[in-house]
Structures are given as C-alpha cells and as structure tokens.
Amino acid sequence: MELEMNNDIFIKVSELLENGAKERDHDFHIMTFCTIGKEGVEARSVVLRNFDKDKNIIRFHTDYRSPKLDDIKKNPNTVCLVYSYKLKTQLRIKTISSIHYDDPIWNDSWDKTGLASRKCYLTKYDPSSHIEEKDDGLPLELKGKTPTSEQSEEGKKNFCVVDNKITEIDYLYLKSSGHERMVLDFNNNKSSWIAP
C-alpha cells in the first residue's frame, strides 16, 4: 500500500542523516558513494558533511581533480549507502549529483573547512593517478604538520563540493521481532513497505 511521504520513517531517516553529518563517531559519518564509471560501478568512502532535510540533499567534499567527478559529469545518477551496526539500519539512497566549484556554496564550504581537512587538498597529485613511488604528494614542510591558514589557501583550487539530491531511499531496519523495509519515493512523494 502506498502512503503519503511524511511518515515516521522519513522523520527517523532524516534525523539519522543529520546526526551522521554532525557526529564524527556516528556510523553514518562515513558513507559509500557509488557512481557509474568507464568500466562499470565505482564505490568509495566519503565523509557525510551535511544533510539538508528541507531540500533532501546529502553533501560531501572532494578533490576537484578526482575521477569521481568525471563519472558524475557523464552520469549524475548515483547512490549513497550507509549502514550502522549499532542501529541495525541500512539506507540505500538513490541520488542525482551536482558539482559546486567557484560559486557561493564552494566558497562558504571552504571557509567552514578546518585546517587539518584543508591539508588533503594540498597534494600535488591528481587523486587516483599512478605515481612512481609511495608518496602523499604534500609539500615537505607540511609533513606531520597542520598548514597555517595562509598555506591552506593554496588548496582551495583543488577543493569542491558535491551535492546529492535524493530521489529514493530504501530503508532497512533489522530487528529480531521482524525486519522492516520501506521505500521512500521522493519523485512521487509516496512510500511503501517492501519485503525485507
């Protein structure tokens, strides 16, 4: 039976995603982000940075040079997957991804990014490119150190924001008294129970 979207499960899922973004030790803080790559499906871990429950957008940050952006440009249909052992909950989230670079969202997100996180964007290498020997590509003077605010600014050109607009959530809650599974369809504002 199809139901109106605004139900208890949607409220619960929203709260979980909001907490996942805020709490570093929440199981949802690291999510698996999947794209369609040149040779098939690609999956990698990313940090869930924000969930906007009014716009239904899941945000993460990445390097502007990373291959996942080529995947998104060719095919914006993506999946964000989270699972919590403690909460016995899995969310398989279908999304449409878009890239923010050199715009107000990019600027604002960079301003809010701490120095330790900004450091990742100072590597001279394109992420996932082949290199001659083991090396993180960071300048020698930054080995084992946090960059100063001024040093970190060099990384801004490599920073970008990926927003993932939710089209569907497949919610699965495992419990001994009976598993629960529901699909929330954001395009049609409907939800329905499905076999777990």
Ligand X SMILES: Cc1cc2nc3c(=O)[nH]c(=O)nc-3n(C[C@H](O)[C@H](O)[C@H](O)COP(=O)(O)O)c2cc1C
DSSP state of 87: T
60 binds ligand X (CB under 6 A): yes
**For residues 142 and 105, what is the distance between their CA atoms, to the nearest angstrom?**
28
**For residues 100 and 74, what is the distance between their CA atoms, to the nearest angstrom?**
16
42 binds ligand X (CB under 6 A): yes
68 binds ligand X (CB under 6 A): yes
127 binds ligand X (CB under 6 A): yes
- Out of 7, 75, 128, 192, point to the residue binding ligand X (CB under 6 A): 128
**For residues 122 and 136, what is the distance between their CA atoms, to the nearest angstrom?**
10
- Out of 50, 56, 62, 95, point to the residue binding ligand X (CB under 6 A): 62
**For residues 96 and 57, what is the distance between their CA atoms, to the nearest angstrom?**
9
47 binds ligand X (CB under 6 A): yes
User: To the nearest 10°, the Cα dihedral for 149, 46, 122, 68?
Assistant: -140
Give min distance, CB of 21 to ligand X, in A. Answer: 12
Q: Enumerate binding residues for ligand X (CB under 6 A).
A: 30, 42, 44-47, 60-63, 66-68, 127-128
